[in-house]
Chains A and B, each alone.
Chain A
Amino acid sequence: MIPVKEILLPKTVDEVCRLLQNNNGLSKIIAGGTDLVPGFHIESPRFTSIERLIDINNVNELKTVSVVDDHISIGSAISFSELISNPVINEKLPLLAKASRTIGSTQIRNRATLGGNFINNAPCADSVAPLLVYDAEIKIKSFAEEKIMKLQEFLVKPYVTRLKPDEIVTNIIVPNPSEKFRGDFYKLGRRRAVSISRISLAILLDVNNGLINEMRIASGAVTPIGSRFYDVEQFAKGKYFSDESIKEIAIKLGDRILEVSGIRWSSEYKIPVVQQVCYQLLKKIERG
């Protein structure tokens, strides 16, 4: 049973903010609906109190990709299909493009949006690991104010973010990645299409004269929410890139995930696999 009693169709962010003013939790923004509508269908307790939906599909300013000075600004209501076919995203943020291609099916990618992917904050959200290694920030607006926050800070715990009921995420802001970085994204699901991630990993790597100058690594689905592993990154920094050293990095990553997530029924499978994925990805990135 879908509890919705009203759907509003604003055309501008200002209108959305006005509609969200004094929101007591009965109003919710809907974009693609690919999490919300199945959530209604299975009567998820997260959604049973929603009476009013604010559809943002007609807000064109939320669907643009623009390059401003040293960063790329992505509208939160851009669909994954639009992201995948966007030349700027493919050129500047290839890991995000690759992750987007692995999400759902054509039908899902045509509706699901980048903002919706992390605002729902499911552990398996595939865009999160790439956005984290790119150091993404998000712009949040309400009627009264506008602020910018690091994505990692915004994500609190599974299905919980810092978004207040009267706020909307309008943009994802990604600093132009250094051209020295090469990287890759890997997703493991139970099948190839329409699959929920069991393990995902995003890595950016800058190797200079055989030395790891900088490595950035983030995971999805193996930790309670998508996370960067700053201590593993520190551990890698300054090491000679060799078969031995990347094995050590992979082992360190597995240890760290165990620390964060604790031992679960799936750990016996997931930890060795995530270590192997990390090792293979590093090798593949270095080979070019």
Chain B
Amino acid sequence: MEIRFTLNHNNVTVVVEPNLRLLDLLRNKFNLTGTKEGCSIGECGACTVIMNGKAVNSCLVLAGQCEGAEIITIEGIDKDGKLHPLQVNFLKSGAVQCGFCTPGMIMSAYALLLENPNPTEEEIKDAIAGNLCRCTGYKQIIEAVEKSAKEVER
């Protein structure tokens, strides 16, 4: 089936098998390998992307369901070649250890800041509750999101 949607602010048209997941479409057809496959059942959040302004697990969305959607991945949040504040602060705060959960974490945080530019610590924890970090660097991750909120707001 042929689907049209916007991917990282560009219109794209692509022919997909109806049994293809959004995750596979991003990684295999568009080479956007920042989005990771972890558990494949919606529990770890490594595959989180933004769909129509909301964080979703791309392992649970079929590509065929994306007709007309707006999809943003970790590769689509920088501006004019400059990293997004979330990316900068994850690096500065030591919030990246093995790095596998990082793109998903950042996308969940990105979705949070779209809706709530000034989140409390509890709201940040809630927003990333669906993202597992096995290096357990949660404290640094929360700090990085807090710092970014202040910068994005300005």
Main secondary structure on chain A at its contact with chain B? loop
Stretch at the interface among B60-68, B86-94, B141-149: B60-68
Interface size class of A (residues with CB under 8 A): 20 to 34
- Chain A nearest Cβ from B61, distance in angstroms: 6
For residue B7, CB closer than 8 A to chain A, the reply is: no
Contacts of A192 in B (CB 8 A): 129
In the bound assembly, the distance between CA atoms of A105 and B126 in angstroms comes to 8
- Given the known interface contacts A34-B60, A37-B59, the answer about A2 and B21 at a Cβ–Cβ threshold of 8 Å is yes
**Nearest Cβ on chain A to B114's Cβ, whole angstroms:** 12
CA of A6 to CA of B18 in the docked complex: distance in angstroms?
5
Distance A30 CA – B62 CA, assembled complex (angstroms):
10
Please give me the residue from chain A that is nearest to B24 by CB atom.
Answer: A2
Kindly specify which of B26-34, B36-44, B72-80 makes contact with the partner chain: B36-44
> B54, A81: Cβ atoms under 8 Å?
yes
How far apart sit A104 and B45, CA to CA, in the bound complex (Å)?
11
Interface size class for chain B? 20 to 34
Select which of B61, B65, B130 is within 8 A of A105 by beta carbon: B130
Are A4 and B42 interface neighbours, CB within 8 A?
no
The answer, yes or no, to whether B15 is at the interface (CB within 8 Å) is no
A-contacting residues, B96-142, CB 8 Å: 108, 111-112, 126-127, 129-131
Q: For the complex, give the distance between the alpha carbons of A49 and B20 in Å.
A: 17
Q: How far is the CA of A222 from the CA of B41 in the complex (A)?
A: 24
Residue contact B41 to A41, C-beta cutoff 8 Å: yes
Contacts of B112 in A (CB 8 A): 106
Shortest Cβ gap from B136 to chain A (Å): 14
CA distance A230 to B6 in the complex (A): 52
Known: A38-B60, A55-B65, A105-B45. A194 touches B130 (CB 8 A): yes
Question: Is there a chain A Cβ closer than 8 Å to B35's Cβ?
Answer: no
Most buried by B among A2, A106, A107: A107
User: Once the chains bind, are B64 and A194 in contact (CB under 8 Å)?
Assistant: no
The complex places the Cα of A2 from the Cα of B56 at a distance, in Å, of 19
Q: With an 8 A cutoff between CB atoms, is A7 at the interface? A: yes
Q: Known A4-B19, A81-B54; judge A33-B60 contact (CB<8 A).
A: yes
A-B contact pairs, 6 of them (CB 8 A): A1-B19, A4-B18, A37-B42, A41-B41, A41-B59, A106-B129
Interface residues of B (CB under 8 A from A): 1, 18-21, 40-43, 45, 48, 51, 54-57, 59-62, 64-65, 67-68, 108, 111-112, 126-127, 129-131
